[in-house]
Amino acid sequence: MRVDPTAVVSADAKIGNDVTIGPFCIVESDVVLGDGCRLEGRVTIKSGTALGRENRVFEGAVLGSIPQHLKVPAELGRLEIGDRNTIRENVTMHRAMAAGQATVVGNDNLVMVNSHVAHDCHVGNNVVLINNTMLGGHVEIHDRVYMAGGAGIQQFCRVGRLATIGGQGRVTKDLPPYVVMDGLTGGVVGLNLVGIRRAGYTNDDIAQLKAAYRVIYRSGLTWNEVLVRLPGEFPDGPAADFHRFFVTGKRGFMCERRTPIAATVRLEPPSVDETPSLRIKAG
């Protein structure tokens, strides 16, 4: 273990092998730092925080603070961070609100400058949070999600695996897996084909996802009809993730940017003695 003489490390902290703690860092009691972790200067690790192996935390990050909430209980939960995460400058992550609960960050994530992970969030593996991204309380982010700079997710929302959120995007409902959300409009604009291919999905997998996307967003079916068709046509494979995600949703789902087929406004041709009239196609 290498500890800078200006660092303050509690004797009650559990420090693994080959850990580096840089200048002016603070490591409080009831902290676990796994083997190979590296804290750069001015990092603060608060009580109730555990880091796995080979995490690198950069200057000014504060991990394990109490939640930003009007009614913070006397007994809090924990912050649990997995292995091989890169946590850049001035990132903040908060403990869970209730004893026995945890804010959880998985493995191999990149959390960039000034990003915030609020209390009771669950972040999966291989997630990328670009500068100034914000996760409200109880947000759930599945594996390989990509959030561009300045994007925010409202509390209690979920983001499915391999979804991409555009810069300054505002996620106010659940965002399905595999899709791209435009940051300007907040609308879904297609599949995240670049990320899907990089994750090793086959051409057959991609064809299946495209077919499922058309059922969800382009078929003109009602929502209940979509929920019936998806498990029948896609009982397995990656497209089966859509139905599993939808049936567990409680906040609604981000819509496609283009106008749904079922909401198209049609101009009816006039009869001999009538003027043109508008009719909304039923969904």
Q: Which residues are catalytic?
A: 119-120, 137
Rounded Cα–Cα distance for residues 18 and 33 (Å) = 10
How many other C-beta atoms can be found within 10 angstroms of the C-beta atom of residue 109?
26
Amino acid in position 222: T
For CA atoms 109, 82, 170, 186, give the dihedral sign. positive
Rounded Cα–Cα distance for residues 131 and 148 (Å) = 8
What phi and psi values does residue 28 have, to the nearest 5 degrees?
-85, 180
Q: Are the C-beta atoms of 91 and 113 separated by less than 8 Å?
A: yes
51-72: burial string, b at 16+ Cβ within 10 Å, e else = bbbbbebbbbbbbbbebeeeee
Long-range contacts of 111-116 (CB under 8 A, 24+ apart): 111/85, 111/86, 111/87, 112/88, 113/88, 113/89, 114/89, 114/90, 115/88, 115/91, 116/91, 116/92
228-249: burial string, b at 16+ Cβ within 10 Å, e else = ebbeeebeeebbbbbbebbeee
